[in-house]
Amino acid sequence: MAKFYSKQGETLQRTQLLLLPCWAATLHKVWGLSLDAAIIDLGPKMFEDGMAYVALSRVRTLQIVALLGLVEKKSHHQQ
């Protein structure tokens, strides 16, 4: 955080945030790739069970994977 003073004597402060370049892709785009790291959203838009497998299998090591939107899925056999 940096502080400045205006000509009128007011104290102004500026906060800078570090931005890292990144990108997003659909599962169809990463189908044949090997990724070094990934943030995978397994929320309600993950409509097929196999999609989660594809997403997880694209990353070289699971130590660099962050999972978002984990929702317990009820089995069709539960009453």
Verdict on whether the full-model pTM lies above 0.85: no
pLDDT at 71: 65
Mapped onto helix, strand or coil, the DSSP state of residue 50 is helix
b/e burial code for range 25-40 (CB count within 10 A of at least 16 → b): eeeeebeeeeeeebeb
Q: What is the pLDDT along the chain (79 residues), one digit of tens a residue?
A: 788 788 888 888 888 888 888 888 888 888 889 999 999 988 877 777 788 888 889 999 988 899 988 766 655 555 5
